[in-house]
Chain A
Amino acid sequence: MILLRKSELEGKIVTTGTVPPAREMAALMDQFIPAIPLLKITDGGEPWLAGSRCRKCDAIFPGDRAVCASCGDRHSIESIRLAQRGTLYNFTVVYRSFSGVKTPFVAAIVDLEGGGSLRGTLLEVEPDPEKLRRDMPVKIVFRDTGQTNQEGRAFLAYYFITAEEPGS
């Protein structure tokens, strides 16, 4: 399980390096709201990524779908959990963005293990196009975005960080 280590929440909430007990976890995560619908948080406080799979044509979609956009079938969509590991398919380094957005950052496209592809920000790498390696393994982490809604609740988002090579 990858969530709520101190480093990953940037020290905002968790003060120890260990994963807290379930009840504490639920209380902690209660402060957050998902920044995007496909990010869900269980009652136990565990963030996860929702997806949909078509039993008929095997297409996989991030988020919830009612009808398969690939084959049009209305009765074959099942809800799945998307994998939290994948590989860096493609990227750009963004140097100029909308005002107020901190640059540079790596805008990445990650193909998830088992299907589905997400766009997101790749953290903890040097934002240098020459140094980023396509197909490198990455994993999903969940972090406080630093943004809050009108009620003061923090938006929780998924991000990518590099993962160790499998087997290493």
Chain B
Amino acid sequence: MSDVYIVGIDMISFGRYPERSVPQLGAEAALLALDDAGLSIRDIQAFYCGNLMQAHQMVGQRILREIGETGIPVVNTANACASGATAFREGYIAIKAGMYDLILVVGVEQMGRGLLGGSARPDGFVEEGVFGSMTTPAMFAQIGMEHQRKYGTTFAQFAKVAVKNHHHSTFNPKAMSRRETPLEEVMSSEMISYPNTKLMCSINVDGSAAAVIASQAAVNRLGLKGRAVKVRASEMTSNPYTPREDSITDFSVVTRNCAKMAYERAGVGPKDIDLVELHDCFATAEIVHYENLELCGEGEGGKLIDTGFTTLGGQIPVNVSGGLLSKGHPLGATGVANLYEIATHLRGEAGARQVEGARLGLTHVVGGGPDVGSTCVVHVLEKA
């Protein structure tokens, strides 16, 4: 099986674009990625498009209306917050299978503001507030509270994740929010679901990101080795049975299983990783995922944030892009935007936030919800 390389990758600045359509947003990223690779849509043999909110409306085909309808296969993927990462992985598999040499991947989303979900059931019943809460901040608050139950992790430790990621975002011109938020400000901003305050919640924004991926043969043929980034692992899991699956959605076992497979596939360990972009949809999630991704031992997540281990300049910087907390979280775009961030560091092109000497990076996304289940996708990328 061929190795798979990213030969072009980019994202638009995340923000709010109410006057633009989803295909227009996706098309912009697609053209940026093609330009980054020095290729045309006519070079592309298949297209994988990740989007959630318009999953039944053939977003991929509509993007090609904007950039060139060449008649290639288009696969539209919807997989909650992992929709973009899923599209990327499907493209990776197609190259591994030897079907194609050059593939375009786009992740794109246009979001409303405020809390996601909340509509009544068809029979008119509103479950929220009766059967607990189904808001995403509450779901991830409970995951943080479970960590507090086990290890005594504090509100301040969770809040420090937001301080760190907002700090990182000040170096990222493509992040939605680029502003320092001192600890007191994070802790005293509006409490949404304890312990997640408003500044500890990711921002609903519009965004898109795209990648061109290629086989070893195409890289050689087109002379694209120079800025190529090798995909060392692309793994996916779904939630296995857990005894509390009806009361709390699992994002931990699903991540642990996926990370283990990714490290094994890449033939590396967590200590070899130079930087990580993980799914900080809420500040509480980041600390839990430190352990799930084996960046530290059980119960040491709080200590990791306290010691600056995961801050830019620390041993394993996490979410130097600003993370979903400040970059923003356009669901379908997130999994490709994370790959853009890692690839940019491996290419040494990350400017003020560059992780010096970065050789190996890891991306992680999860998706899911109450009564649904979950998914996790982990990629390991290496400087080619």
Binding site for B on A (CB under 8 A): 35-36, 59-63, 69-70, 89-103, 105, 107-111, 115-121, 129, 134, 145, 147-150, 155, 157, 159
Contact check, A147 vs B247: say whether CB atoms are below 8 A apart. Answer: no
Binds A, one of B50-58, B121-129, B226-234: B121-129
Contact check, B130 vs A96: say whether CB atoms are below 8 A apart. Answer: no
A157 partner residues in chain B, CB cutoff 8 A? 130-131
B137 partner residues in chain A, CB cutoff 8 A? 96
Interchain nearest-CB distance for B242 vs A (Å): 9
Interchain nearest-CB distance for B224 vs A (Å): 45
Contact check, B246 vs A63: say whether CB atoms are below 8 A apart. Answer: yes
Known: A63-B246, A96-B115. A107 touches B125 (CB 8 A): no
Contact check, A94 vs B117: say whether CB atoms are below 8 A apart. Answer: no
Binds A, one of B67-75, B142-150, B254-262, B336-344: B142-150
Question: Looking at the complex, which one of A69, A70, A90, A150 makes contact with B142 (CB distance below 8 Å)?
Answer: A90
Interface string of B232-247 (1 = CB under 8 A from A): 0000000001011111
CB closest chain-A residue, reference B116: A98
Q: Measured between alpha carbons, how far is A121 from B138 in the docked complex, in Å?
A: 12
Q: Measured between alpha carbons, how far is A70 from B317 in the docked complex, in Å?
A: 37
CB closest chain-B residue, reference A134: B149
Interchain nearest-CB distance for B16 vs A (Å): 20
How would you classify the secondary structure of chain A's contact residues: helix, strand, loop or mixed?
Answer: strand
Contact check, A101 vs B193: say whether CB atoms are below 8 A apart. Answer: no
| Size bracket, chain B contacts | 35 or more
28 chain-A/chain-B pairs, Cβ below 8 angstroms = A35-B127, A35-B131, A36-B131, A69-B245, A91-B145, A92-B194, A94-B129, A96-B115, A98-B115, A98-B117, A98-B135, A100-B126, A107-B193, A109-B244, A109-B247, A115-B243, A116-B246, A119-B248, A120-B131, A120-B132, A121-B130, A121-B131, A121-B132, A145-B125, A149-B124, A149-B125, A155-B125, A157-B131
Known: A61-B246, A63-B246, A107-B132. A92 touches B142 (CB 8 A): yes
Q: Measured between alpha carbons, how far is A107 from B141 in the docked complex, in Å?
A: 10
Contact check, A35 vs B130: say whether CB atoms are below 8 A apart. Answer: yes
Question: Looking at the complex, which one of A97, A100, A116, A150 makes contact with B135 (CB distance below 8 Å)?
Answer: A97
Contact check, B244 vs A93: say whether CB atoms are below 8 A apart. Answer: no
Known: A89-B244, A96-B115. A102 touches B129 (CB 8 A): yes
Q: Measured between alpha carbons, how far is A101 from B190 in the docked complex, in Å?
A: 17
Contact check, B191 vs A95: say whether CB atoms are below 8 A apart. Answer: yes
- Taking the complex as formed, is B192 at the interface, i.e. its CB lies under 8 A from any CB of chain A? yes
Interface string of B109-125 (1 = CB under 8 A from A): 00000010110000111
In the A-B complex, the 8 residue pairs with the closest CB atoms: A98-B118, A107-B132, A92-B141, A107-B133, A119-B132, A117-B247, A117-B244, A119-B247
